[in-house]
Each structure stands twice: as C-alpha cells, then as structure tokens.
Structure 1
Amino acid sequence: MKKLLFFSLTVILILNYILLPSQVSAYSYGDPGEEQIAEAYKELENHLEQDDWEKAKAVYSSYEKDFNLYFTKTQPDIDMAFETNDKQLLLRSWQAALRLNIERRLHFAEDQFEDYGQAKLLLAKARGTFSVLESLVIEKVGQEKTDEIYVAFDESLKALGNPGLFGIGSKGNDKETFLNNVTYIETELRPLFPIVAELDEGESHLTEENLDLKTGADEIGSSSFWLWFSVGLIVLLGILIIINKRKGKN
C-alpha cells in the first residue's frame, strides 16, 4: 500500500513538473497581460488623454529600470517629452520601446529555441506586446498586413515543435522556419515604430528652398560662361602669337 501511494505521488509530481511550464507559457491569444510594460502603455495613454502628466510620470517611473536596461535609446525622447509635455513624442517613444521589446523577446526565444517551454513563453510575451500595438499597425498598414504578422507569430509557434508528454504526440521543431518568421515580424515592425531621435537624424531637412537650387543652376551657367570665355581668350592669344611670328619672319 505504501509503495503504491509513493508511486502515485511520484507520478503526480512528475506530471506537475512537465505540465506546469506549458500551462504557464500557454498562448492566450489576444491577452496582452503577458507583458506588463505593454499593459503600462495603455495606462499611460489613458493618463495623457486626461492631461494628467503626474500620473503619466508615475507610470514611467515604475518601468524606468526596464528603460535603463533595455530601451536606453528611447530615453532622451521620453525625457524631452516630459520636459515639454509633448504627448505624441511620449507615446511614439513608448511605442518604439515596445517594438524593441518584441525584438528582445524574439531574440531570446531564438537563443532558447531548444528549450520548448522557455521559447514558447518568450514568444507569447512578444505576441502579447504586439497585440497592444495592433490598432496602430492597422492604422499604418491595414488589417491584411496586421493579420499577416499574426500569422507569422502563429507559424513561429508551430516551428517550436512540441516535446509532448513522455514523448507521446511530440512534434519536431524547425528553426529555419522560426527564423524566417521572426525576421519577417521584425522587418515589418521596425519602420512602423522607429526611435524618434534616430528618425530625425536620418531625415534630410534639405529642400529646394534652403538648397536654393535655382541659384545653383544660375551659378553653374555662369561658371560655364566664364570657362568658355577663358578658353576663347587663350585661343585668341595663341592666334595673335602665331600671326606675330609670321610677321617677324617676313
């Protein structure tokens, strides 16, 4: 009897150990609660709609350590946004941080690819972050493209395979498919949620007006005139020298 009880407890513990990671990291489609910094964005947005900068600052303070560690490139823009009470700059900078968070989660999912439970959890967090940005993605590129990005997440999940229970129902993984879908997700999102400071640095502010293209054209024409004028003088001088030499001979 004792042996049977001991065996039963052992089996229960083993099953809990195996099943718990899958339950914790299970996909809950449409559940952005997988990533707290993504949830915080919605809270931040609500505070800014109420023009409550004090509460908005409190939200940022709660995640400032994350920004210090992972999203440092967005911090100058965020600091500037709070200094100038620029709502759009603050939202765009947080959106850029969420995009970076997706890339971070996907990167570590790649590193943990052979660890099904960890890779699945990290992929779920990336997808949860994307779901918070979903409405913005729809605004920027439309529903069809947004759906395609979701499909890439789904295909990435499938590519992880499944170890099954005691090997029963196991499915092999496919890292190449995983990487292709991850690359697609990152490539599609990067231009949609750029770091504002980097965007400004990369943009050319030169226009036809401040380049003064018309004046430049006039200067080119003027330079051509003087070039041909100089050539003409040299040719004329050469002709005069030849004439003088002939006169001297005569």
Structure 2
Amino acid sequence: MKKFLLFFGLIMIVTFNYILFPSSAFAYSYGDPGKEKMAEAYKELDKHLENDDWNRAEQVYETYKKEFDLYFKKTQPDISEAFKDKDKELLRRSWQAAMRLNIERRLHFAQEQFEDYGQAKLLLAKARGTYSILEPIYSKNSDQSSADQIYQAFDEALKALGNPGLFGIGNKQSDRETFDQKVQFIIDKLQPQFPIVSEVEKDKSHLTEENLGLFDKMGNEGSSSFWLWFSVGLIALLIVLIVNNKRKQKKR
C-alpha cells in the first residue's frame, strides 16, 4: 500500500508540473538553459583558427549554417570573405557579431513573451549564456567594470520578470518597464563592440584619402603654414578694402 501511495504521489507531481508549467517544461527543447550551442561553437572555431585548421573551422560553420541563413544573414558575406582570404580576425569578428545578433534576438522574444514567465526566463538565460562567451572579448576591448554592468543588467532583468510561484506561494510582481530598460541597456552596450564588419567599413567609405589628407595637414605638420597663409590672405583682403574705400572717398 505504501509503495502504491508513493507511486501515486510521483504521478501527481509530474501531472501538476505538466499542467502548471507546460510552456517552460516542454514548449522548447533548449537543453541546458544557460548555453547556446551556436555560441559555444565559437570556442571550437577559435581553437581551429589558432591551429590554422581551416577545414575544421569551415565544418563548424557548416554545422550552424542553417541558423546563419535564418537569423544572421548579414554576417555571411564577411564570413565567406574570411574563408576565401583565410582572414582569421574577420572570421572571429563576424562570428562575434552573429552572437551579438543572437542575444538581441533572444531578448526580443523574451520581451514578446514577457507574460510567460517560464519561456521568458529561458530566453533570457540563453542570451546571458551567449554573453558569457563574448564577455572576455568585451572586457578586453572595453573594461571589466563595464562588462560586469552587463551581467548585472541580466540579473536585474531576471528579477524584473517576477515569479508566479507555486500555487501563488512566493510569487513576485513583475516589472515590465525595468525589464525593457535592462534589455535596451544590454543591446546598447553590445552593439558598438560587436558590429557587422562590412557595415562598419561601409560607414567609413566616405572618408577618402583626399579629405583625410586635408584635415591631417590642417591638424598636424601643415597647421602652422596653413594659418600663416590664412593670416596673409586676411591682411591682403583688408588692404584691398582700405584702398577701395579711399578711392571712393576721392571721387566724392
């Protein structure tokens, strides 16, 4: 009888979990909620690049090519160019940009599903897990304090989700405004650090050698000669104006 009651109790627990938390338990097959396979693959990619093993690096990319086709299409021209030219830095930066886009994607859907606590929490965990791969790069390019602020923003966003509790016990009120603020903070911090490489180069394309040379001369070695001739020109213009003025006065 005791065994039957124990078995019955286990069945009831599983049933209640399914009824109360269907979306968080079964809607997405995420595996470890704190890991994103595409982001974890960056470590493997980086290792192959260190060993100049471009064949294995390309195999890593091919494994996740469908995800790139769907979600990170803007990075693909740069990735193709990186493999073609065997440009390690371009490939790393392009994959990093894709991870940043993936964080934005996860956070966007977390906002859309804010009322679904289990789902939003999983999406937030995926975004945080991806950031954990980018964080050493971010702190190297920026500073550790700023990198830690992003972790703090993730933690505060999680708190802002609230918690429905079990049967209402231990429930915490959600805060949509704070959640959106923290999400935007994370996005704003990551975007300039992990841009799409070709878009950055496109923005720089209006800076030609001619206009860069002009400003370099004005700002550096040629600055003294520039201001000398500028002053001479002003004096000459002043003399011409005075002479013309005197001529007008004589005619009168």
Q: TM-score, normalised by structure 2?
A: 0.78
Worse-superposed segment, 72-81 or 177-186:
72-81
* CA separation of 1:65 and 1:229: change in aligned 2, threshold 3 A: farther
* Deviation (angstroms), 1:10: 6.4
Which of these residues, 14, 17, 23, is aligned with residue 15 of structure 1? Answer: 17
Contact between 1:32 and 1:132, CA under 8 Å: does it hold in 2?
Answer: no
* Deviation (angstroms), 1:11: 6.2
Amino acid at match of 1:234: N
Q: 1:85-104 alignment to 2 at 5 Å? A: 85-104=86-105
Residue aligning to 1:144: 145
Contact between 2:39 and 2:99, CA under 8 Å: does it hold in 1?
Answer: yes
Instruction: Look up the SS of the partner of 1:59 in the other structure.
Output: helix
Structure 1 residue 231 corresponds to structure 2 residue 233: no
Instruction: Look up the SS of the partner of 1:113 in the other structure.
Output: coil
Structure 2 unaligned runs (5+)?
none
* Deviation (angstroms), 1:167: 2.5
**In the aligned structure 1, how far is the partner of 2:50 from the partner of 2:22?**
40
* Runs of 4+ with deviation above 6 angstroms: 4-8, 205-208
Q: 1:100-115 alignment to 2 at 5 Å? A: 100-115=101-116
**In the aligned structure 1, how far is the partner of 2:42 from the partner of 2:143?**
21
* CA separation of 1:200 and 1:172: change in aligned 2, threshold 3 A: same
Amino acid at match of 2:245: V
Contact between 2:35 and 2:129, CA under 8 Å: does it hold in 1?
Answer: yes
Deviation by residue 1:177-204 (Cα, 9 ceiling, x = unmatched): 2112212222222222222223334455
**In the aligned structure 1, how far is the partner of 2:9 from the partner of 2:202?**
66
Deviation by residue 1:185-235 (Cα, 9 ceiling, x = unmatched): 222222222222233344557787443323654553354244224323422
* Deviation (angstroms), 1:7: 10
* CA separation of 1:218 and 1:74: change in aligned 2, threshold 3 A: farther
* Deviation (angstroms), 1:115: 0.8
Worse-superposed segment, 10-19 or 69-78:
10-19
Q: 1:70-219 alignment to 2 at 5 Å? A: 70-203=71-204, 209-211=213-215, 212-213=217-218, 214=222, 216-217=226-227
Amino acid at match of 2:18: N
Contact between 1:32 and 1:129, CA under 8 Å: does it hold in 2?
Answer: no
CA RMSD, Structure 1 to Structure 2 (Å): 3.2
Q: TM-score, normalised by structure 1?
A: 0.79
* Deviation (angstroms), 1:132: 0.9
* Deviation (angstroms), 1:241: 2.0
Amino acid at match of 2:139: I
